[in-house]
Structure 1
């Protein structure tokens, strides 16, 4: 117990908890907006990746490969510090949302592609026979079934994205980790503050996992019916 107290200053953590938590709304905003960008772009990337047209298939494959093969931290620096050199200036918040969104879209695209491919092609053929338009078939028949399959891996992407928002601190986004860095800089006790941030992220991810379970139950009706 004494060893634990020597590496974790409870008083320091409690005193600075409100300040660290003041970065929580920014953490949530970056995570949700980035996931929204990634989900929307990821759907179209998945459709392009599975297209029979090379002009759609190859650019999406290259994009997915590039985003999955480059560090998000480097991409954040490029957006926030590199683009101003060519006359494009983004705020730290904008750079974070765009960076995380474009990066997560690559992973979401592969999840969506696998989920869409798992749906029996006979359903596409039946809809075509009945004269149902492509986008109506996709939105009303295929996507609801694919969503049930995609929810667990998509939630994992969102969990990783939520935790990865801490990287936004390097481009001065005032989220929780950046707040913790400020406190650790003036208190000279980085370990306590970093553990404090970890203890905040933990229940946040538990809430997201609970939401995943509710979504799975909601979409399970498409499997049971």
Structure 2
């Protein structure tokens, strides 16, 4: 027989019972990229503090100015009216889109198509100038031009505020209907069939089974629309409504300080956007019950966890130094 050559792998020379050294994996980019980001942010903050053209004194003078606060109140009013009205009308349109009736389906689809096709600025101007088309509005005998039961002048009925609120509401309803329809379609069809098989009435099926599950998909997009609507109300300056953006425009045209006044508007928009974002987080956390084993931590829990980890790491370093 031919000789057989056997190759054996040399064994490690580490004595038995000795723990192997743990070599941590180095992530250089985890330190390099954050360092660059912090450097850029520090440069930006430094420029905010040292550039005199920002005129922070003017910013402080007008931040709580009476006219600015009145404009802010008007902005919030238009946002509340358009969001509430838009989602109520959007809910009806979403039900129409899911209806088996071809007429209701076509009407809702046509509404969504039209109001998503026309810019919001154009819609507000059309409603504001509706008096040129219809000098009077009223109720009377259908398909006739006389025998009015109620008749009013269009210009006295549709003011600048009414035209802005109506345009924003109808425009918002088109987008809200698609948000609600998408949320309703996200519910598993088996849920509907099971509820129907159990003999649960249609109204209870919708409000107790389908809608709570659809809310998980509706809430993020709904809050996104609310935040966008707060900033979107700035388009009503076209009809000279003194909302926040229009007010700061009037002031900086008078004082020739555009940057500080624009920063006032930016700060107020950012404040309310932040508040809505925090509310959105807790609403989403509320609807996450039943779908996640552990709920996402609250902001206070995140801060507390970070502080505890930092304190523990500091204590460990102190022990090592003493040793």
**Please, what TM-score do these two structures have when normalized by structure 2?**
0.65
Structure showing greater radius of gyration is 2
The aligned counterpart of 2:202 is 134
Query: What SS class does the counterpart of residue 131 from structure 1 fall into?
Result: coil
SS of the residue 2:203 aligns to = helix
1:51 to 78, 99, 106: 99
Aligned to 1:14: 60
Structure holding more helix per residue? 1
Counterparts of 2:258 and 2:199 in 1: how far apart (Å)?
A: 63
Contact 2:62 2:264 (8 Å CA) reproduced? no
In the alignment, structure 2 segments of 5+ residues that lack a partner are: 1-46, 137-153, 294-323
- Cα RMSD, aligned residues only: 1.9
Secondary structure of 2:249 counterpart: helix
- Aligned equivalents of 1:9, 1:138: Cα separation in 2: 55
- Spell out structure 1 runs of 4+ moving beyond 4 A: none
SS of 1:151's equivalent in the other structure is helix
Pick the aligned partner of 1:103 from 147, 166, 171. Answer: 171
1:164 has 2:232 as partner: yes
Match of 2:158? 90
TM-score, normalised to structure 1's length? 0.92
CA drift at 1:25: 1.4
The one of 213, 217, 222 equivalent to 2:281 is 213
Q: State the Cα distance separating 1:42 from its structure 2 match.
A: 0.8
* Structure 2: distance between partners of 1:190 and 1:140: 52
1:177 match: 245
Q: How many positions carry a matched residue from both structures?
A: 224
8 Å Cα contact 2:74/2:243 also seen in 1? yes
Gaps of 5+ in 1: none
